[in-house]
């Protein structure tokens, strides 16, 4: 997992409340095998970005080149509600976002994002609305998210603190997911397995690839 420390990037608003995981990653794309060069980026918010004729919706900021290549998504309340599909977090990352700022995120989706290196930042609704207005007025302006200091710095230099679980923060700063953390205890695990093998020598040996 890619570590997250300080991100300064353009931000793009999608101010629609209760965007669920089925909208973030439409079910028809879940049959696709995710691999490099063939990921879920195309699927991300597809039906918000395109109409029934596959034409880009002009009122969707994600289709506006003035925003450049933003790595920060500005969301509305309850982003990621609905099902627990982890693919929704993949879609956010594959589209190119490293962070999101919104009034609230669904709990499971929030955790899935952190596990995959995407930082969801919760700020007061009033601040979120102000950020939307700022980037709409001047598309391409940058916002900074400083995870070690737990602050968002807007284009005017105003600092907005945010909360995050200390353990989640530490793992994200170091770029560690659950597998990485487990592998960090490889020696201890091997010792326990060795003692177990000595106590129960009749247990079958599991082959390792």
Question: Does a structural domain hold residue 205?
Answer: no
The encoded tokens of residue 194 equal: 């060795």
Question: Does a structural domain hold residue 208?
Answer: no
**207 band by pLDDT with thresholds 50, 70 and 90:** low
Question: Does a structural domain hold residue 52?
Answer: yes
Question: Does a structural domain hold residue 145?
Answer: yes
Q: What is the pLDDT of residues 93-127, one digit of tens each?
A: 999 999 999 999 999 999 999 999 999 999 999 99
Q: What is the pLDDT of residue 148?
A: 97
Give the integer Cα–Cα distance in Å for 20 and 28: 15
Structural domain boundaries enclosing 14: 6-198
**Phi first, then psi: what are they for 161, rounded to 5°?**
-70, 150
**208 band by pLDDT with thresholds 50, 70 and 90:** low
Question: Does a structural domain hold residue 207?
Answer: no
The encoded tokens of residue 35 equal: 């691999």
Question: Does a structural domain hold residue 204?
Answer: no
**128 band by pLDDT with thresholds 50, 70 and 90:** very high
Question: Does a structural domain hold residue 141?
Answer: yes
Q: What is the CATH number of the domain that holds 62?
A: 3.20.19.10
Q: What is the pLDDT of residues 158-188, one digit of tens each?
A: 999 999 999 999 999 999 887 877 777 778 8
Specify whether the CB–CB gap between 91 and 80 falls below 8 A. no
Question: Does a structural domain hold residue 131?
Answer: yes
Structural domain count of the chain: 1
Q: How far is CA 67 from the centre of its chain?
A: 19
Q: What is the pLDDT of residues 36-45, one digit of tens each?
A: 767 899 999 9
Specify whether the CB–CB gap between 85 and 29 falls below 8 A. no
Inter-axis angle of helices 87-95 and 107-115, nearest 10: 60
Q: What is the pLDDT of residue 200?
A: 84
């Amino acid at each position: 997992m890619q570590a997250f420390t300080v991100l300064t990037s353009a931000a793009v608003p999608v101010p629609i409340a209760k965007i669920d995981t089925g909208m973030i990653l439409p079910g028809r794309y879940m049959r696709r095998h995710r691999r490099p060069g063939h990921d879920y980026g195309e699927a991300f918010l597809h039906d918000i970005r395109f109409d029934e004729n596959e034409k880009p919706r002009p009122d969707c900021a994600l289709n506006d080149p003035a925003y450049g290549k933003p790595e920060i998504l500005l969301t509305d309340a309850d982003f990621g509600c609905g099902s627990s599909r982890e693919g929704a977090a993949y879609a956010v990352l594959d589209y190119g976002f490293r962070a999101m700022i919104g009034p609230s995120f669904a709990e499971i989706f929030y955790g899935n994002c952190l596990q995959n290196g995407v930082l969801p930042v919760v700020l007061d609704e009033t601040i979120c609305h102000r950020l939307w207005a700022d980037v709409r007025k001047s598309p391409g302006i940058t916002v900074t998210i400083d995870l070690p200091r737990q602050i968002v710095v807007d284009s005017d230099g105003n600092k907005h603190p945010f909360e995050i679980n200390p353990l989640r923060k530490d793992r994200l700063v170091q770029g560690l997911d659950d597998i990485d953390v487990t592998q960090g205890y490889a020696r201890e695990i091997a010792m326990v397995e060795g003692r177990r093998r000595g106590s129960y020598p009749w247990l079958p040996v599991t082959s390792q690839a």
